[in-house]
Amino acid sequence: MSRTHSYFVTGIGTDIGKTVVAAILTEVLHADYWKPVQAGGLDQSDTLKVQSLISNPHSQFHPEAYRLSQPQSPHAAASLDGISIQLDSFHLPDTQRPLIVEGAGGLLVPLNTQSLMVDLISHLGLPVILVSKNYLGSINHTLLSIEALQNRNISLEGIIFNGLPTPATESIILDYTGVDCLGRITEEPEVTPAMIKKYANQWDQRFLFPNPP
């Protein structure tokens, strides 16, 4: 099973832009998409959102390992549904295509009383793309997220910044950590397939990804 150009997309918190980044990466790579845990919003899940934004005919969308009814932390949502999330129940989908995996919330979101989202990343063994949104306090949240990955020897491919450009914020993060900036998303009036395609066309060259089949 080929895992070339497969990534786990995580963020420095909630509502950071992970799903938009995951959609762009899915489009640029003609990759498959998988959201291991969906907590709440089952009729408007991130899988359905990404699927609605993708233009290429190749990407496949794999079912979640856990579909939880309440929009809460996975451990709490699972408890309300009368189940317990088990780390060893997660397995990468069987696909020959590149794969984009999207996490829920940030790195230290609990899946159960012993395991965090970062433990799932370690379990799956994919390199991480970290999404950082520019807001007051994002430097601290971004550096803490990078430190959490480094402390666990998880490969960090790079950062994607989301929101209005903030050079002072971005430069201190990149200079302090030495992590690569893979791309930027500015504020957009609407997230549409055309918007996703626009960034996919830009990132195709920026990432030097091979042309998808």
* Catalytic site positions: 35
d(CA 109, CA 209): 31
Q: Quick check: 162 and 148 in contact, CB under 8 A?
A: no
d(CA 104, CA 109): 8
Residues ≥6 apart with Cβ < 8 Å to 79? none
The alpha helices in the chain, defined as continuous H runs, are 18-29, 46-53, 74-80, 117-124, 138-151, 167-177, 193-206
